[in-house]
Amino acid sequence: MMTPFNSNGLLLLAGLCCLLPRTKTDYHEGVYNDSNIDKFQCRKVALTISNVSISLYKEMAQESRNGNILFSPLRVIAALSMLSMGDQSNASQHILEALKLNKTGLPSAEIHKCFQYLLWPILHPPQSSLLRSGSSMFINQDINLLDEFLEGAKKLYLSDVIPISFTDSRKAKAQINNYIMKKTNREILDIIKSLQSDTSLVLVNYIIWNAKIISNFNCKFVKMEDFHLGHRNSIKIPMVNSVDVYHLFRVNDLFSMVLIYSHSQSILIYFIVPDKGRMRAAEQRLTYPHFRRMVQKLSLRMVKVHMPELSLSETHNLESVMNLLGINYVLSNDHISSVIMDDKVENPSKVISKVVLTFDDKGAIPSSTSCLESSTWANVPLFQLNRPFLIFIQDSDNYAPLFLGRVVHPRN
């Protein structure tokens, strides 16, 4: 007889409940009680971010056809949207148009409020959460920020604002790196590699997720297995073999099998594994409506899964990221100066986004390698993440896209 499953933790990645483990009380704290925020309208903003993120991903995929890609759409778009606050020129509207946020039909003030709503859960998780995220803006101490921008950066985008002297670029770089190192408990080191002495602003966004792989059926073990990199190349990596309850189905027009992990606290994690040799075709066809249609296919079933231990870290300079979308003027000095500063400044600005994502088996109690050979699991389908795959992580309460990427090498 099959062991009954527990509704509080159904899935292989139940350890990911720590991603955003909100109780009902926690969830409605603070901004979630703000009657001035229209949650339905804010979902339009989240859906727009998701659509833009797919376009951005496709551009990244063209630039890096055979490498890992990983970024946080919510963090990237929020950083750029924050720079649109201010009324001294048309720069604000230009930025919102570049990010397609004008298509929501909302006034800019409401869009900024929606970012407060969308960012709140990841910037105020419980102390026990394995997710950490933050935004820190280092501004030249001789520059006067517009009051509206300063208030909005702190209140709406929940960003630290730190005056700093850039005269000694080496000292400024060390100060920024030490600040981020302390904020992230040493998980992000040396995020700034170089800095000019005439820099006027440095904006750093980061999101870190350390997840534990577990099995709710006490059937899990780690085995060294092949991960196929392509072109007949493979590497041996630790692969967690386990069994649990998932949503598993095929999406024919993406040539892919899809495994979805869902959680009662509104997190959806999509693992999309294209058929051999069809990754590029799947990427070209991928649209955000695919994810919306996938949700309609949700149907829990027992699945045996081989999940690689992942250790991924990506850093993006947002100027180069936005250049991929053909909107390089957004981060021009003229635009930034007119939007956030009292006086026009010709000095350069830097906007950095850092993503760290790990899945591992550390700290978990292993079970026997024979557990999957039990007759209990004889007819359970097998899903193997043993070749390049796509990953998408979403807060399904507000549709905010937290992570999007492609895993080609699980240990880079």
Top mean-pLDDT range of 60-69, 219-228, 372-381, 385-394 = 385-394
Structure tokens at 26: 């926690």
Residue 111 phi, psi dihedral angles, 5° rounding: -60, -45
Confidence check: pLDDT of 204 > 90: yes
Tokens of 210: 């350390």
What is 14-20+215-308+362-407's CATH topology? Answer: Alpha-1-antitrypsin; domain 1 (2.30.39)
Q: What is the pTM of this model?
A: 0.86
Measured distance CA(44)–CA(55) in Å, rounded: 17
With a pLDDT cut of 70, the percent of the chain lying above it is: 81
Residue 162 identity: I
Do 31-211+311-357 and 14-20+215-308+362-407 fall under one CATH topology? Answer: no
- Distance between CA 262 and CA 298 in Å, rounded? 9
Higher pLDDT, 24 or 410: 410
CB 312 within 8 A of CB 357: yes
pLDDT tens profile 362-384: 655 566 677 877 777 888 999 99
What are the pLDDT digits (tens) for 48-71?
999 999 999 998 998 888 899 999
**Contact between 130 and 19 (Cβ < 8 Å):** yes
User: How many CB atoms neighbour CB 354 within 10 A?
Assistant: 21
Instruction: List the chain domain ranges.
Output: 14-20+215-308+362-407, 31-211+311-357
Residue 230: which region, alpha, beta or left (left: phi > 0; alpha: psi -120 to 50)?
A: left
Rounded to whole angstroms, the Cα distance separating 8 from 5 reads: 9
Instruction: Supply the pLDDT for residue 10.
Output: 29
Paired sense of beta strands 300-308 and 233-251, if any: antiparallel
Quote the CA–CA distance of 266 and 272 in Å, as a whole number. 19
Position 113, amino acid:
K
The residue that leads in pLDDT, 322 or 147, is 147
255 alpha carbon, distance to own chain's centre: 24
The count of other CB atoms within 10 Å of the CB of residue 234 is: 14
- The CATH-assigned architecture of domain 31-211+311-357 is 2-Layer Sandwich (3.30)
Residue 83 banded pLDDT, cuts 50, 70, 90: confident
Q: What is the pLDDT of residues 174-200, one digit of tens each?
A: 999 999 999 999 999 999 998 888 888
**CA dist., res. 324 & res. 318, Å (int):** 10
Other CB atoms within 10 A of residue 103 CB = 13
pLDDT digits (tens, 9 = 90+) for 234-284: 999 999 988 888 999 999 999 999 999 875 566 788 999 999 999 999 999
Mean pLDDT of all residues in 9-30 = 36
Q: Is 136 helix (H, G, I), strand (E, B) or coil?
A: strand
Judge whether 355 and 206 are in contact, CB under 8 Å: yes
φ and ψ at residue 40, rounded to 5 degrees: -65, -45
Distance CA 221, CA 198 (A): 54
